[in-house]
Structure formats: structure tokens, C-alpha cells
Amino acid sequence: MALNLFLPPTAISPSPSKVPVLFYLSGLTCTGDNCAEKGFFQAYASKHGIAVVYPDTSPRGAKVEGEDESWDFGSGAGFYVDATEENWRSNYNMYTYITEELPKALFSSFGVLDGERVSITGHSMGGHGALILFLKNPGKYRSVSALAPITNPINCPWGQKAFTGYFGAENKSKWAEHDATELLKRWKGPFETLIDVGTGDNFYKNGQLLPENFEAAAKEKGVEKGVSVRYQKDYDHSYFFISTFAEDHVNYHAKFLLK
């Protein structure tokens, strides 16, 4: 598995100090390169002394039948779940990779990374990943944010296709366990996040993201004050959108990572 790791100057200067870590999960079709090159999180992470990890979005070259047939399923589309369906379950375990395997390898290889101060963010499918990893692992991450996230995959075409493929069409309880909106309904205690969505984003307009469903769940649970969903006028789904709000997201996580 390839990835990119950004280390801020404080991690490499003559007297390096332990630095907190922000995981950035990418969206459909992306690798760990896209946001490292175009998202511009590093400029702001550098100022705060935060490391940024950009993992890949799926296994590559696993030789699973059909893995390269769609842009929204298989390669580049791991959806941050551990698959249970026969063809996929040996290789497509992005949930375990991001929450366990990668941190273990990374924190043991780079002693300067502070494994006790970790936050998570992501875009689109990666925003879904960030939200479910946070909600499924209370206390593991200090904070979560997302850009144009898929917030209710069991009710959108992308999510339905992916969960059918990875979990099977019938296993609806598995589906709900990997749906941010469903997970929020079961969440106990306070909850806080920052979410940006562009109103010119075609995937938002076509019902793939469904942030209103996530907001409704927050209201149902009485945590709506902590859920800041900002509808950014006319912004689309692109890296221009991401890079424009990267500063706000890094600053948001810095509040939790540096206190």
C-alpha cells in the first residue's frame, strides 16, 4: 500500500518534537497523491506543526475479478469498510487498514508521530470514511471533519452499489454499521464536526451526499449545535473546493490536536 506522509518543520528540525497527526481520506478514483498535490492542507498543517497522512483508497492490483470494471467500486473505491463478500473479503479491508494496520506501521516507523493525538478528515467517499471511523471508534480520534462527504450511503446510489458489492444485498445491519447518519443516531454523548458542501456540487445535487439527512439525525439526537454543515454557495466537488476550505479544516483540527 502506497501513501504520502507530510511532516511539518517541527518534526524534522534540529530538535524534533512529537507532532500530532491528521489522517486525510480521499474520495472515489483518487490515490494518496491527489490531495497531497492539490488540496493544500500541508501549508496550514506546517504552520500548526501537524503531520498529514494521505492513504490510498483501496488495494491495487489485488487481481479480484471485476476490481477495475467500475470507477465507483473496487480499485479506488474501497469505501473504508472490511468486505464480507467472498471475492472481496481477503483484500478489501480498508477499515482495518486505516484504523489498525497503517497506524501501527506508521507510528513504529516514525517515532516523531504522536499516536495519542490523531484526528481524521476526508473528501466525498473519504468524508464518509472519516465520519464512520470516528463514530465507530469513540476516543480513537480527537476530532472529525469532512468535505462534501457521503453521509448516508445506505440511501444513495454510490453507497448502495458499494455495500451490495462488499457486504451483499441482504446484510442490511452491516450496511447500517457503516453509515454515518445511522451511526450518529446510535451515538452517545456530545458530538462535534465541521462539514463543508458546495451548493454547485453535482453529486450533492444528485443525492449522493445527503448532508440534510445527517443534520436531521443530529437534531434527533440533540447534538445539532455541534454539527456545523456549511453550504458553500456555488462551489463544486473539485480540489479547488477542497483547497479553498483546507485552511478552515486544519484550523478546526488544530483546536483539538494542540490543546
Residue choice 239, 241, 245, 252 for contact with a copy of itself (CB under 8 A)? 239
Q: Check residue 244 for interaction with a copy of itself (CB under 8 A).
A: yes
Q: Phi/psi at 171 (nearest 5 deg)?
A: -80, 65
List, in sequence order, every residue forming a beta bridge with 194; answer none if it has no partner. Answer: 145, 228
Catalytically annotated residue among 56, 82, 179, 201: 201
**DSSP alpha helices (H): ranges in 2-77?**
9-12, 33-38, 41-48
Region for residue 25 given its phi and psi (left: phi exceeds 0; alpha: psi -120 to 50; beta: otherwise): beta
DSSP-assigned beta bridge partners for residue 93: 82
Near a copy of itself by CB under 8 A: residue from 13, 37, 105, 251 = 37
- Applying CB under 8 A, the site for a copy of itself has a residue count of 9
Site residues (CB under 8 A) for a copy of itself, limited to 197-236: none
As a whole number of angstroms, the distance between CA 143 and CA 88 comes to 30
Q: Which stretch binds a copy of itself (CB under 8 A): 19-27, 33-41, 103-111, 157-165?
A: 33-41
CB of 247 to a copy of itself, least distance (A): 8
Radius of gyration of the chain from Cα atoms?
17
Catalytic member of 26, 75, 119, 124: 124
Q: Please give the residue ranges that form the binding site for a copy of itself (CB under 8 A).
A: 37-38, 40, 42-43, 239-240, 243-244
Which amino acids are annotated catalytic? 124, 201, 237
